[in-house]
Amino acid sequence: MTSTGGTAEGTAAVVLVGGQGSRLRPLTSSTPKPMLPTAGVPFIGHLLSRIAAAGIRRVVLGTSYRAEVFADYLGDGSAFGLDLECVPEPEPLGTGGGIRHAAAALDPAFEEVMVFNGDILSGVDLGAVLAEHRAADADATLHLVRVPDPTAFGCVPTDASGRVEAFLEKTLNPPTDQVNAGCYVFRRAVIDAIPEGRPVSVERETFPGLLREGRRLQGHVESSYWLDLGTPAAFVRGCADLVQGIAPTSALPGPIGTSLLLDGAKTAATASVSDGTTLGRDVVVGDGSRVIGSVVMDGARIGDNVVVTRSVIGPRAVIGDETVVSDAVVGDDVTIGANCELREGVRLWPGLSIPDGGLRFSGSG
């Protein structure tokens, strides 16, 4: 998505990708959340494509969990049109501490820094966020998104000029539908004032502290596409939205449509793949099977007359004939026999083997 607002000249970016993604296990047991295959490429690829489209060139990734995976995939960022560096945290430093640590790798000439949480899929116009930050002469600007049900989030009220008034915890009666969307612009001096060498929460410490000091915090409020990919259900939905063009990206490795089939993926003539499904490399889908709004990762095998709905099938997993998989996660190298049924949030850890015979599994994950 190309920015239509302020120019990004003189702006650098920090992307926080250090979390362990515990809510997405077993998918993240060996792969950091931002590196999960998401509509055909690691999710970080979609985010970096949007950063590059906004005109930002210098990017630092704050890494922690499986930091080497990012460095191996991204290199120096030149493949994305970026000057990119991965900076591992010596210990978990929280959002504020992570921003401070990563930003130390930036040249002091960058007087403003745009910060991204590495697990948010968003359609916000990044140039418009920058333009509002500058117009308000703000110390920090937060992307705030309006959500239908703000009770699940802390909320951030603003006044008529967009100035942030408070940071409120979750409540059954929130005074606003505006929530923190995980994208910020900071004046460089604000980042440099974050304490070094200890965990700091930008949401609970940095921003409230700035408010107490009377500093200008601006809210860029809008209602574009926004999704936190922190749960399996959200991950599957985000992948499907990218494939179908509902969520913006310029990194999709194929045309927008009802499905995305990567190299070597094969479907039987009587099979159907729909609702934004991604089939990874060398996936095979058998006769009469239906794969609906799901992610099937590289090398997986789907038998005959199988129904897979809103689920993730891990690399090299095998799903036996006549099996139903709905709202479930099947880990790497799992084998599921024929005539099984997996529903309602069940998660199968890598390497498990489920025998034939109509076994039923359900969960609450």
d(CA 322, CA 308) in angstroms, rounded, equals 11
Sequence-distant (≥ 6) Cβ neighbours of residue 286 within 8 angstroms: 268, 271, 301, 302, 303, 304, 305, 306, 321
d(CA 166, CA 110) in angstroms, rounded, equals 28
Sequence-distant (≥ 6) Cβ neighbours of residue 90 within 8 angstroms: none
pLDDT over 50 at 272, yes or no: yes
- Type of residue found at 86: C
Element (H, E) at 126: helix 126-135
This prediction's pTM: 0.89
CB contact at 8 A, 323 and 305: no
pLDDT over 60 at 159, yes or no: yes
Structure tokens at 216: 């200008």
pLDDT over 50 at 198, yes or no: yes
Task: Determine the pLDDT at residue 6.
Answer: 57
| Domain residue ranges of the chain, discontinuous segments joined by + | 11-231, 258-362
The model's pLDDT over 303-319, given as tens digits with 9 standing for 90+, comes to 999 999 999 999 999 99
CB contact at 8 A, 165 and 158: yes
pLDDT over 60 at 297, yes or no: yes
pLDDT over 80 at 141, yes or no: yes
Task: Determine the pLDDT at residue 169.
Answer: 81
pLDDT over 70 at 16, yes or no: yes
Task: Determine the pLDDT at residue 362.
Answer: 62
d(CA 275, CA 286) in angstroms, rounded, equals 18
Task: Determine the pLDDT at residue 150.
Answer: 86
Task: Determine the pLDDT at residue 128.
Answer: 94
User: What percentage of the chain reaches a pLDDT higher than 90?
Assistant: 69
Q: Taking residues 337-343, what's their average pLDDT?
A: 93
pLDDT: which is higher, 341 or 364: 341
The model's pLDDT over 111-133, given as tens digits with 9 standing for 90+, comes to 999 999 988 999 999 999 999 99
CATH fold match for the domains 11-231 and 258-362: no
| DSSP three-state, residue 258 | coil
d(CA 25, CA 179) in angstroms, rounded, equals 26
The region that residue 322 occupies, defined by phi over 0 for left and psi between -120 and 50 for alpha, beta otherwise, is: left
pLDDT over 80 at 21, yes or no: no
CB contact at 8 A, 24 and 235: yes
Task: Determine the pLDDT at residue 358.
Answer: 62
Nearest to residue 139, comparing CAs of 196, 211, 203? 211
pLDDT over 50 at 2, yes or no: no
CB contact at 8 A, 289 and 303: yes
pLDDT: which is higher, 267 or 7: 267
Which fold is adopted by the domain 11-231? Answer: Spore Coat Polysaccharide Biosynthesis Protein SpsA; Chain A (3.90.550)
Q: Taking residues 320-329, what's their average pLDDT?
A: 96
Nearest to residue 353, comparing CAs of 325, 328, 319, 321? 319
Structure tokens at 346: 């069940």
pLDDT over 60 at 107, yes or no: yes
Q: What is the CATH number of domain 258-362?
A: 2.160.10.10
